[in-house]
Amino acid sequence: MKYYLRENLRFLLPDGVLYDENGEVVYRYNNVTVLFPQVDLYKKNQFIGSIKRNMTWFLKSYDVYYNNALIDTISEQFKLFRSELTLGRDWKIKGDIFSWHYEIYDEDNILIARVDQELFRLHRRFYIDVIDEDREEIIMLLIIAINQFDRDKSTQVALSSSRG
């Protein structure tokens, strides 16, 4: 199944929608807090899960909840002048995460999703190809969590450049 993600800004909190190939809204997500981000994901107006940022000082992590049960933690790891994300489960993220060109592999190293940013767009828009449709909702939660890391990174860059 193929989706497109488009973000909207609402009082500096990003919300977004995921459209299917026919342009129909299938998923939407809403930020519900400012200081300690929590993002709720809905599929056709039914609550799927949430992503909650953990209290950390340096490297960030987010807990991913599916049907109100903790299913994973995504953590930022520092590797030789750049950061990487790791999943708590045995799934792997490969590619250029913060440029939005990456793939997600399951515990058997089988490709289950691919994410690419569309170029030449006025607003950020992402193409998501979900290969494993049985785990689609969990994959979408993880992609939204990765988006939160990207948003955190963009905010840090903006804050540090405004101080200079």
Domain locations in the chain as residue ranges: 2-163
Q: What is the pLDDT along the chain (164 residues), one digit of tens a residue?
A: 889 877 665 445 567 888 998 999 999 988 877 666 789 999 999 999 999 988 776 678 889 999 999 999 888 776 665 556 778 778 888 887 666 788 999 999 999 999 987 766 556 678 899 999 999 999 999 988 887 776 665 544 434 444 55
- Tell me what pLDDT residue 156 has: 46
Largest CA distance in the chain: 48
Instruction: Look at the domain 2-163 and name its fold.
Output: Porin (2.40.160)
Nearest to 39 by CA among 19, 23, 58, 17: 17
State the pTM of this model: 0.81
